[in-house]
Amino acid sequence: MSGPGSGELPSPREQPPRPELHRALGLTDQELERIVEILDREPNELELALYGVMWSEHCSYKSSRRHLRRLPTSGDRVLVGPGENAGVIDAGDGIAVAIRIESHNHPSAVEPRQGAATGVGGIIRDIFTMGARPLAVMDPLFFGPPDDARQRWLLEGVVSGISSYGNSVGVPTVGGELTFDPGYAGNPLVNVLCIGALPADRLVLARASGTGNLAVLLGATTGRDGIGGVSVLASAGFSGDAGGAKRPNVQVGDPFEEKRLIEACLALLDAGLVVGIQDLGGAGLACATSETAARGGVGMDVDVSAVPRREPDMAAWEVMTSESQERMLAIVTPEAWSAVEELCRRWEVQASVIGHVTGGATPCAVGGETARELSGRLRICDRGTVVGEVPAASLADGAPVYDRPMRAPADRALSRADDPTASEGCGDCGAELRAMLLDSSWVYRQYDHQLFLNTVVGPGGDAALLRLAGPGLPPSERGVAVTTDSSPRWCAIDPRAGVGLVLAESVANLACVGASPVAVVDCLNFGNPEHPEVMWQLSETVEGLVDACHAFGLPVIGGNVSLYNESTGADILPTPVLGVLGLVERLRRRPPPMALAADASVVLLGRRRAGDDVPHPLGGSRWAVECRGRRHGALPPLDHAAHARLASFVASLVAADIAGGGRGPEDAGDAGLLDGVHDVSGGGLAVALAEMAVSGGVGVRVAGVEGHRELFTELPSRIVVVTRTPGELCARADEAGVPAEIIGIAGGDRFVVEQLVDVPMAELSQAWTGSLVGRLAPA
């Protein structure tokens, strides 16, 4: 290759594209016109392929971008907001925490095991790209009901993919969610969140800089796996064959390669040997080279013939768009190259120079305007010949931004009026309660959730609570808490209010482990954006999230949008999934469990009635949807100020407990106020109490519940606590302006809510244990 800015190379000479090739690559006629305008000539096949993947919905966010701009993204603790590989916050004590959430929905629908496995691999790379050691993964999963053989195949495959990859690569999976709804039968959702930690002074950004610096490809060889993953798979819906024809587009994961890659990259960063680093995910080299160049305001020459291959006879466009897994692009000074090579050899990681950084920043005309950032040219060479050349920023940032038509569903008023609260009467509450229990331990026992000795509260709790510790981190007594939450039931009724309720639930979950929330990441899973009602759902969701984030004072520091989740024309339920990160100042003791304790009082914190008109609304509740088949109605109201008061009251009690006032043989005699804690969410008070009873192996007698509506309502801002000092607790709650009522006493071998439920504990425990396993292995 020649030096930067050299003009002697022949002009791009690949064949001019076949007419209409752009459509096969997912580009519209208008998008092709825009490309011609940018290049001032017709693109060749390679260049068209680059635009095809980079301007795909998955990579460019072209349908959602204008909506996402409204989200609040700044805050005192925010070190890195959206737009980088991960968001990063300052956790104190010289430690920064990186967090990211992504979807791997479409690959998992086609090939559940590899789809989910490579989702885990991808998110982990995003985290160590920032210089952070990946410390924990969480997986929110959504399937159709498991009574169906295909759904069981999907669930088994996805769980085994996460298990085999995550366990082997050495990152614990500490939580997640499991949701069954017929709306996901044709298009399951596999979201994955990862957090990592790094010394705050070692933050790395994915930028290329320094003309003449080397572009080094690290890790696995490049093959034809995953070509078009983003454009063909993730940017279009599924037709009738359930994705069989798309299977060759799914990538295949190798966790052992990734494990070595993690160690090698962290060692390279520790030694200060790289200028910038970027992982290769969707759109492969096309994305990694153009994004690092665009962010750094430079250009890049790439020689595809220097890319190590695993298959013969690959064309330049195949090498550039391959989504082969476990690869990283590092920018390295020529002086550091030999040290990089040596370190990679030690970790058995292949390292190859595939290009270099060029200067010559030139304004690039995009759509008649000059692009915001200047950048150089991305020039692709093959055995000495230039085969393609485009402005790097036009790939990374030049995609059109669409203002797609939106329309609220025509039957909103009717649907709101079709409310189950008044019309559905009391049934067999005990049977309905048992039907709503879901023991997800079959899933999380297949995940290593304890590696690194950080997992204080693991899967199955309200939120994961981890020590903030890891190799290379400064010592700290702090803890970090993470929760993922969603409620497609609520969001289907009202996406704006629904997502607000989801964020409120996250805040309550964190409070139960003593953590204060600091940042949000969102994974917005929706149907086809070309359907105006789907765009309306997306826009409403963003509005709701903006409002809720402002109300709770939280920034959104990263996210992902997954569109075209549809099957045979039917869109999935609107499914925003939130990941919320919280911090604990001092973590010395285990928090109170999500369980009852014999002879202790059961206290309900928070208001018990929404108001006098409809005190216990049931619209969108699990009870209405799952037990009565009623999906419409009105959602319960949320009072942000009251919710924040409740959450900060509970968080302060638990935080005081875990900071050293609490439990454990090392501190006998200084018991905390709480013996158990759990927030009320899906399934209402009934399910919250049942989960605590089963977990503690202790029965309960509760009195004064106003009928089945109070038992099953999902009215927010309520937390159940268990205490042996109810008088003191209620006095403290009163001071904090938080309503508190003793509703029962734990103990005995029956689960009793007077007038409504009376079940032997043995029966309840059996229903709990068999709730998932029984459905997975039908007799």
**Residues 19, 22, 23, 24, CA torsion sign:** positive
Report the distance separating Cα 601 and Cα 751, nearest Å: 14
* Cβ 448 to another protein shortest distance, Å: 5
H-helix segments, 65-148: 65-68, 105-110, 112-129
Considering only residues 34, 62, 356, 467, which one is a binding residue for another protein as defined by CB under 8 A? 467
Taking contact as CB under 8 A, which single stretch among the options 11-19, 178-186, 535-543, 588-596 is the one that binds another protein?
588-596
Residues 471-510 touching another protein, rule: CB under 8 A, are 471
Kindly state whether residue 128 participates in binding another protein, applying the rule CB under 8 A: no
Report how far residue 174's alpha carbon sits from residue 176's, in angstroms, rounded to the nearest whole number: 7
Select from 51, 143, 238, 447 the one that contacts another protein (CB under 8 A). Answer: 447
DSSP 310-374: SSSS--HHHHHH---SSEEEEEE-GGGHHHHHHHHHHTT--EEEEEEEE---B--EETTEE-SS-
What Cα–Cα distance (Å) separates residue 452 from each residue in 96, 97, 586, 601? 17, 16, 18, 36
Q: Which two tokens stand for residue 108?
A: 């998992």
Give the chain's largest Cα–Cα span: 88
Nearer to another protein, 473 or 551 (CB): 473
Q: Which of 301, 448, 657, 675 binds another protein (CB under 8 A)?
A: 448
CB of 143 to another protein, least distance (A): 18
Q: Which is nearer to another protein, 255 or 683 (CB)?
A: 255
Beta strands in 624-731 (DSSP E): 676-679, 700-702, 719-723
- CA distances 114 to 241, 253, 343, 727, Å, are 19, 6, 30, 54
Q: Does 446 bind another protein (CB under 8 A)?
A: yes
Distance (Å, whole) CA 677 – CA 185: 34
Query: Is 58 among the residues known to form the active site?
Result: yes
Q: Which of 58, 531, 616, 640 is catalytic?
A: 58
Per CB under 8 A, does 168 bind another protein?
Answer: yes
Does 450 sit near another protein (CB under 8 A)?
A: yes
From 22, 67, 104, 616, the catalytic residue: 104
Name which of 450 and 568 has its Cβ closer to another protein. Answer: 450
Minimum distance of another protein from residue 741's CB (angstroms):
32
56 or 455: CB nearest another protein: 455
Q: Please identify which residue in the block is written with the tokens 């994915």.
A: 206
Name residue 482's beta-bridge partners.
464, 581
**267 near another protein, judged by CB under 8 A:** no
Which of these ranges, 30-38, 46-54, 167-175, 202-210, lies near another protein under the rule CB under 8 A?
A: 167-175
Is 104 a residue of the active site?
A: yes
DSSP string, 233-249: ITTS-B-TTTTGGGGGG
Two tokens at 307? Answer: 């890319």
Contact pick of 181, 254, 326, 432 for another protein (by CB under 8 A): 254
Six token digits for residue 594: 């999500």
Interhelix angle for 112-129 vs 255-270, to 10°?
Answer: 0
Of the candidate residues 167, 290, 322, 324, the single one contacting another protein (CB under 8 A): 167
The interface region with another protein, picked from 205-213, 252-260, 626-634, 692-700 by CB under 8 A, is: 252-260
Output the smallest distance, CB 656 to another protein, in A: 16
Run of H or E including 758: strand 757-760
Q: What angle do CA 485, 486, 487 make, to 5 degrees?
A: 140
Cβ atoms of residues 175 and 482 within 8 Å: yes
Of residues 259 and 732, the one with the C-beta less far from another protein: 259
In the stretch 657-676, what mask flags binding to another protein with x, by CB under 8 A?
-------xxx----------
Position 163 contacts another protein (CB under 8 A): yes
Closer Cβ to another protein, 389 or 448, answer by number: 448
Least distance from C-beta 348 to another protein, angstroms? 6
Stretch that binds another protein, among 99-107, 332-340, 441-449, 749-757 (CB under 8 A): 441-449
Q: What angle do CA 566, 436, 773 make, to 5 degrees?
A: 80
| Nearest CB to another protein, comparing residues 265 and 757 | 265
Residues numbered 341-360 forming contacts with another protein, rule: CB under 8 A: 347-348
Helix or strand holding residue 130 (H, E):
none
In the complex, what is the shortest distance from the CB of residue 353 to another protein, in angstroms, rounded to a whole number?
24
Q: How far apart are CA 227 and CA 319, in angstroms?
A: 9
At which residue do the structure tokens 């519940």 appear?
705
Q: Which of residues 590-619 bind another protein (CB under 8 A)?
A: 590
Q: Which is nearer to another protein, 160 or 652 (CB)?
A: 160
The one among 452, 536, 552, 649 contacting another protein by CB under 8 A: 452
**Whole-angstrom Cα Rg for the chain:** 27
Note the residues at the interface with another protein (CB under 8 A).
160, 163-164, 167-170, 254-256, 259-260, 347-348, 444-453, 455-456, 467, 470-471, 587-590, 664-666
Catalytic machinery residues: 58, 104
